Structures are given as C-alpha cells and as structure tokens.
Chain A
Amino acid sequence: MSKGADQTTSEGWDGAFHTTHWTHIFKVQSGDERLRRAALEDLLARYWKPVYCSLRSRGHPHEEAKDLTQGFFQEIVLGKGLVEKADRARGRFRTFLLTALDHYSANVHRSQKAKRRRPEGGLVQLEQLTELNIPEPIHHATPAEVFDYAWASALLDQVLAEVAGECRETGNATHWELFRARVLQPIMDNAEAPSLAHLCQKYGISKKGKVSKMIMAVKRRFQAVLRRHVRQFVDSDAEVDDEIHYLLMIFSGRGGIS
C-alpha cells in the first residue's frame, strides 16, 4: 500500500509499512523497555476483554476469571514473552493469543494457583474491571467464539464512541442523533426505524432529503472509522474487507455462532 493510503500505519525498519497493531508488537520485540511497556499496555487495553470473556465462557466466575486474566497477561504475555514470539506470517495476532490462552487455561490449577500468580497490585486496568456476564445470545458459544464476540463488541464500542464524539465536537450533534435514531437504535433494540417524517418533525428539519443526507454523512464516517480501526489489525486495505467479512460470517451464523 502507499504511504498516503492509511495514516494509521508507520514505517518500519525494513522500509515496509506495518499496521499500527503489528508496530506495537514489534515495539515489544525491540528490547527497548520503555517502548515495550507502553506497547504492552496498549495490547492489554485491546485484549483484556476478549480474554476475560473467553475465560468466563469456560465456566470461571468473575473473580476467578479476573485473576486468570491477570495471570495470563502477567505470566504468559509478560513473563514468557508471548508477544516476542508472535509472527505476523502466521496469521491474526488474536488467533495466536487465543491459542496461548487455550494452553494456559488447560494447564492452570484453577483459582488458587491463579491467585498465587497474581502480580502484587495487579494490572491496573484489570483491577477496575467490573463483572461482565456472558450475554444470553452467546451463552452456548465456544470460548473462541466468545473471544471473537467480545473483541468485535469492544471494537464497535470504540468506533461508535469515536464517531459520536467527532459529531459533537464538529457541531454535528444532530447528525449523530439522527443516525442513532434511524440506524443504530433500531438495530440495538430490534425495533422498527422511525420514519423520516417523524425525524423531520422531532428535529425541526423541513426536508426528508436533508435528514437522509445527514444520516448518510454519519454512516460514511462510521464506515471510515470502522475501516481505520480494523486496518490496524490487518496488513492491507484489501484485508479490511476480508476481516469484516470473516466477522460477518461468524456472527450471521454462516461460520459459527448465531
């Protein structure tokens, strides 16, 4: 890809453009302790939720899953240098992480041993973790499916928060509210979308076409932000579509949970 095609990439030492995500991983592998620590914190922020949820789906109650999550990051990710062993050529990092979690989960002696392994003070982000139950719709999903679900859910939360924030900061709060009412909320509530006429009346907009265009503007922004976020986890623009298709496959029941 070209340099201008994606501002989220940075130039690596071999002159190639690496994804932001892999750049963090390379920083962990670089040996620079300051960079390593910062990059690990970033990875922790991205992955604690899928790891924790995957452990919950294996039957661990909240406190135990929290301790095991701490233990996994402390012992395996930090202690055994898991990230240092990651190889981009071997596929998705989250698949690599999930495989390691499977081994960890199989080997660990449940909560007592996990608690003994818990670092003093714990990992700050995880200490603040409130209990997350496995949602009813995925109650019977496999730990791997729950991992993907939690990862995608966190990704969508970040994207929606960013788009909402952008709309408000740029004086387009009404754009966001229209998008939310017409597109987002009907999906989240499994409800029928309000009519354009209703939205015109509610927001004092005279033309339905204007409402449509305002919604489309946010939709396009959502598309761009989602793609930018997904782009951080894959190696090329083309793979962004593949990644979204993969998630759609597993979430729409064609390749996994339904």
Chain B
Amino acid sequence: MEEETTYGLSPEQLARLLTIGQQSGDGHNNPGIGRTLSELLQEILSSDLPLDPTSPDSLPVVLNWPSHEVLAVSGQTMGELLLDHRTDLEVIKTLKDYAKELAHRGRPCSKQTVVTAIYYAAIANALVFHQHRITKYSYRRLEEAYSELEQKPWIPSELKELFRRARSACQRRIGEP
C-alpha cells in the first residue's frame, strides 16, 4: 500500500478492516463481532456455491439436492447465479428455498438478514428474467419489500439494480392475483 495509512480512520473503520481478517470457516459461518452486513453479504455472493456435502449448511444437505443438479451449477458463485438472466429457473427456485431454509434455522440475526436478501434476490431474478413469480407473496407485498431493500446501505449496487427492476415489474402487476 503506497503512502496510504489507516491512521486517521474512525475506530469503526478499523473494525471493518479487522473483520476482513476474521476467519469464517467455509466463508459462510461465524459472522463474528463487528462484521458488517455488507461484508457478510458480499462474501456469500462472491463465494462458490456451498456444495460440499460434508457441510451441514451446504445445498445438497439442506435441500437434499440431486447430484446432477449440483454438478450443473458447480464453479459458479451465488452472486453470478442470482444476477444472471441465463440462470435456469429451477436453480433460482432452489436458491430461494435454500435461503428460506437457512433463515429459518435460527442463525445469528445478521446472517438471517443477509439470507433474507438472498431470498428476495432469487425471487427478483425470477420476476425480472423469467417473468415468473416463485412465491405466494402478492406483487404489492413484494414491491414493498424491494422498496425497502433498495434503501439498505449494505446491499451492493448490482443487487440494488436487480431489486429496482423487480420493484418495477411488481408495480406493473399490482392488482393481478
């Protein structure tokens, strides 16, 4: 780092830098003290899909996913799949179910918040790229949720853009059953 120093940053900024250095096991667990939602979410989005069958939090274990489906998405990150218009709708549905299951597992609050964002990102992908609603939630409720998520400072810009497009899609369909 040339001529840059952390001296002068706020203590909170130092804490954020230190959280980068915290070990997180498979990259998804142990959010730890001080870890920000932004860092936790970015780590999940940028990590390969959790496909290790020996991990209790992995997709194959949580959803009892068939091995051929596991192979089809191996090597891709959660973020790539959620933001790509080419991701198969069945895969998107699986990611939504996976996030929902993790959110219900009584994880730390920060993790629940982050997997809830993943959950809504999967629904947004289906709405925007497949013109398909994969939840029983009404368009009005989804529109409200996306409005709220768009305001969250810890959501990365590319995900906010997906939420913005999903909100627009919902607005056009409010009133539909």
Footprint of B on A, CB under 8 Å? 132, 135, 137-138, 141, 149-150, 152-154, 156-157, 159-161, 164, 180, 183-184, 187-188, 190, 192-197, 208-209, 212-213, 215-216, 219, 222-223, 226-227, 230, 241, 244-245, 247-254, 257-258
Contacts and interface: CB of A to CB of B under 8 A. Distances in A.
Interface of B: 1-2, 4-23, 27, 32-34, 38, 42, 45-47, 75-77, 79-80, 83, 153, 156-158
Given A213-B77, A247-B15, A248-B33, 10 more contacts: A156-B18, A184-B17, A208-B79, A212-B45, A216-B46, A222-B20, A248-B19, A250-B11, A252-B33, A253-B11
A197 B2 CA distance: 26
B21 A244 contact: yes
Contacts of B6: 153, 156-157, 160, 188
5 A-B pairs with least C-beta separation? A226-B21, A212-B46, A137-B10, A248-B34, A251-B15
B11 A137 contact: yes
A189 to B, nearest CB: 9
* A interface, over-half SS: helix
Which of B6, B33, B80, B157 lies at the interface centre, i.e. has the most chain A CB atoms within 10 A of its CB? B6
Contacts of A132: 7
B78 to A, nearest CB: 10
Nearest to B30: A241
Contacts of A194: 157
Nearest to B158: A195
Contact of A252 (B5, B7, B12): B12
Nearest to A257: B11
Contacts of B23: 223, 227, 241
